[in-house]
């Protein structure tokens, strides 16, 4: 985890390389379920589809179910402070940034679990 990851494509490439992609999706779906969200991502989807689906889910939550969005942030363990620091000028960029932060936090969870479970 020494290299700083700054883009969602970079993160997903690293997750695939570390063979944590399926575990990442399982963790993401688990946190959706624990946040009482009736959404999920197919475990067979490609990284590109994962990115698109997560952005759609985040957009839907922000626009129509903001309390559920905040609940998801809590469940994922992503601070509201990080979210409020993002620029809201362009909604598409804002949603992509939030999706990146969610995936990055989920990746850290599965990475630490793999590293320290031995």
What digits encode the pLDDT tens for the residues 3-22?
A: 688 889 999 999 999 999 99
Global pTM? Answer: 0.91
Considering the domain boundaries, does residue 107 fall inside one?
yes
Q: What is the Cα–Cα distance from 100 to 5, expressed in whole angstroms? A: 10
Residue 84 domain boundaries: 8-111
Q: Closest by alpha carbon to 18, among 31, 1, 37?
A: 1
Q: Whose structure tokens read 């942030």? A: 73
Domain count, the chain: 1
Which residues of the chain register pLDDT less than 70? Answer: 1-3, 118
Pull the structure tokens for residue 75: 């469940």
**Is 2 domain-assigned?**
no
| 56 within domain boundaries | yes
Instruction: Check if the beta carbon of residue 53 is closer than 8 Å to that of residue 41.
Output: yes
């Amino acid at each position: 985890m020494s290299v700083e990851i700054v883009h969602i494509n970079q993160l997903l490439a690293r997750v695939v390389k570390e063979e944590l992609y399926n575990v990442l999706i399982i963790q993401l779906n688990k946190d959706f379920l624990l946040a009482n969200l009736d959404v999920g991502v197919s475990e067979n989807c490609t990284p590109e589809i994962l990115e698109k689906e997560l952005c759609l889910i985040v957009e839907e939550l922000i626009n129509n179910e903001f309390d559920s969005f905040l609940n998801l942030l809590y469940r994922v363990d992503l601070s509201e402070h990080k979210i409020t620091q993002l620029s809201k000028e362009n909604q598409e960029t804002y949603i992509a940034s939030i999706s990146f932060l969610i995936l990055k936090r989920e990746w850290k969870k599965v990475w630490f679990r793999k590293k320290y479970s031995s």
